[in-house]
Structure 1
Amino acid sequence: MDWLTRMNRALDYIEMNISGEIDLTEIASQACCSSYQFQRMFSFITDVTLAEYIRRRRLTLAAIDLLNSDAKVIDIAIKYGYDSPVSFARAFQSMHGVNPTTARQEGVALKAYPRLSFLISIKGVEAMNYRIETKESFQVFGIERVFQTSGDGDGPTTPGGLWQQCHANGEVERLTSNAGELPVYLSRDLYKVHAVCSYRKTENDTFPYMLCSFKSDSSKTDGYLEITIPSHTWAIFPSELFTWDQFNDSIESLYHRFYSEWLPTAGYEQVDGMEFEVYGGRNGLNYVELWFAVRKTS
């Protein structure tokens, strides 16, 4: 089953259950990937989160029900997943600009977000730089957190928050000093601290993320979590050189192009969503490489 078929099958599941319970794990299962992986792909391709897309679709259909039926507002609210007319009215007002009762009046302007479909678009965009490398098993060590895909929870709730916390408390500097020499299979202009994601299974709707260093003979790993990365084929996408104030735009562009341009047509698929963010610098500027564990599709 090809990439487009899997992604559109996930959207079919959403539409079939739009007025009922939508299981994020089941959406991902329809696309043959993890929940975290699907939500990342979806947001980078569409520029909207999966939760926001579902919310917009439900409120679009709720407006249609208000216009075309005599159903009570509370019944429509419950149908589309709201447990009270107050929460429904608040969400409806936020999207449509009017409350549900006013929406039934003739001539009131409302908004509609149509169902999405994934297609391959042929565009004359600039070439993507990438390379395919097969690496033997290696080890990394560092500071791990398990995050909820929703971003909820205690402490830093996103990988970005973890980076900020570890910069502030000196953990990044300490990990840098304990990293030792870079292993021989890495470029000499890489920094000492990187990140790896989805390298082991966790509970549904969560994913592991680690600020890590590549282990070498001179590394000091006491007090850190050590993990072994199995042998994989990696699709590696390097950014252009940038200053740190350009970091977000640079890395988001790489993710977006990987998911929307390369992955649908390259004849590869991701392996369990495993990926590295590998950082380096030269000539006073910085760069990032995104390493995606991949395998050829049949």
Structure 2
Amino acid sequence: MLERLNQAMEHIERHLDRPVDAGELARIAVTSEYHFRRLFSALAGVPLSEYVRRRRLTVAGAEVVAGERTLLDIAVRWGYGSAEAFARAFKAVHGVGPGEARRTGAVLRAQPRMSFRLTVEGSSSMRYRIVQKEPFRLVGRKARVPLVHEGMNPAIVAFVKSIEPATRDRIEALSDQEPAGVVNVGDGLADSRAEGTELDYWYGVVTGADVPDDLDAMPVPAGTWAVFETSGTVPEAVQDLWRDVFTQWFPSNPYRSRPGPEISRTRISADGSRVDAELWIPVEPVAA
């Protein structure tokens, strides 16, 4: 898998001056575009589109400093419709505009070429199981919130606090299958998974019961789920588990992610410092 990802990275470099085709990159990596974008973001630490933008402006920065082409020619070559648009993008990455960089020899920022290598760390193992689930409903309350990769998400905390205790009790009583009890669900997240992008957050349960009119509901089709378990500190344990699933488990197992809600079931200790958690990720087998 890593070798195929590196072939995709080489393709990016050979075609930096063209619009990125995530579908073509996924074909090179022999996976789905959906999974490729998620795997890339987890491994690289930045969304695919952001990495390509930084690489283009790194090469463009060298051309600006060289002074052999006009700024407009450089802008057009790297896909910007005007010198002004190029200047804005250039400054966002380098901290100075291209005109200033050419005049003063300012210090620029470079995005190095990325490649992926396997690193073996420690001797710990991941606890997981593969589950086949029949169709079910996700029932509860949902809100549109920004994505936060590290630390508590203030928008989620405020949303959960806004749900009346009686409503929480009614939601929990509807749970009748795995994962049992109240779950936290992320759905509708942009492929980039960039910090601050919005997603649908659900405070709800997995059920086959009838849905009360005053609650939100989403049907989820039958499918395969990879279920991961962890224990640790709040909230790092769950966030680290999500990272490890994409950076360690997927590259070494014959599965890829598929569209669908990502479900976490958490049980927090009385003092609020530790958590036992399950993470349910929708997956599909990779053809041999």
Q: TM above 0.5, one fold?
A: yes
Of 148, 156, 176 in structure 2, the residue corresponding to residue 183 of structure 1 is: 176
**Equivalence for 1:86:** 84
Deviates more, 1:76-85 or 1:278-287: 278-287
**Equivalence for 1:267:** 254
Of 55, 77, 80 in structure 2, the residue corresponding to residue 57 of structure 1 is: 55
Q: How many residues align?
A: 275
Of 212, 232, 240 in structure 1, the residue corresponding to residue 231 of structure 2 is: 240
- Residues 166, 241 of structure 1: alpha-carbon distance in 2 compared, 3 angstrom cutoff: same
Query: Matches of 1:273 and 1:239 in 2, distance apart?
Result: 21
**Equivalence for 1:195:** 185
Contact between 2:139 and 2:171, CA under 8 Å: does it hold in 1? no
Q: Deviations over 1:134-187 (max 9, x none)?
A: 2331412236879xxxxxxxx64559687356425427973552332543544x
- Residues 38, 278 of structure 1: alpha-carbon distance in 2 compared, 3 angstrom cutoff: farther
Query: Matches of 2:211 and 2:259 in 1, distance apart?
Result: 29
**Equivalence for 2:277:** 288
Q: Deviations over 1:46-99 (max 9, x none)?
A: 222323212210111101222445211122122223333234234323433443
Contact between 1:74 and 1:85, CA under 8 Å: does it hold in 2? yes
TM-score between the two structures when normalised by the length of structure 2: 0.74
Q: Deviations over 1:214-241 (max 9, x none)?
A: 1155x64434324134142x33222324
TM-score between the two structures when normalised by the length of structure 1: 0.72
2:98 counterpart SS class? coil
- Residues 42, 145 of structure 1: alpha-carbon distance in 2 compared, 3 angstrom cutoff: farther
Query: Matches of 1:143 and 1:6 in 2, distance apart?
Result: 41
2:247 counterpart SS class? helix
Matched, 1:228 2:220: yes
**Equivalence for 2:129:** 132
Contact between 1:56 and 1:113, CA under 8 Å: does it hold in 2? yes
Paired letter, 1:214: V
Query: Matches of 2:169 and 2:24 in 1, distance apart?
Result: 40
Contact between 1:34 and 1:273, CA under 8 Å: does it hold in 2? no
Contact between 2:16 and 2:56, CA under 8 Å: does it hold in 1? yes
Paired letter, 2:265: V
| RMSD between aligned residues | 3.9
Query: Matches of 1:169 and 1:99 in 2, distance apart?
Result: 45
In structure 1, stretches of 5+ residues that fail to align are 147-154
- Residues 134, 72 of structure 1: alpha-carbon distance in 2 compared, 3 angstrom cutoff: same
Query: Matches of 2:223 and 2:95 in 1, distance apart?
Result: 53
Contact between 1:42 and 1:50, CA under 8 Å: does it hold in 2? yes
**Equivalence for 1:276:** 263
1:290 counterpart SS class? strand
Mapping of residues 98-137 of structure 1, within 5 Å: 98-104=96-102, 108-121=106-119, 123-137=120-134
**Equivalence for 1:167:** 160
- Residues 171, 25 of structure 1: alpha-carbon distance in 2 compared, 3 angstrom cutoff: farther
In structure 2, stretches of 5+ residues that fail to align are none
Paired letter, 1:113: Q
- Residues 176, 120 of structure 1: alpha-carbon distance in 2 compared, 3 angstrom cutoff: farther
- Residues 171, 230 of structure 1: alpha-carbon distance in 2 compared, 3 angstrom cutoff: farther
Deviation for aligned residue 1:9: 4.2
- Residues 126, 18 of structure 1: alpha-carbon distance in 2 compared, 3 angstrom cutoff: same
**Equivalence for 1:33:** 32
Mapping of residues 243-262 of structure 1, within 5 Å: 246-247=234-235, 249-262=236-249
- Residues 96, 102 of structure 1: alpha-carbon distance in 2 compared, 3 angstrom cutoff: same
2:76 counterpart SS class? helix
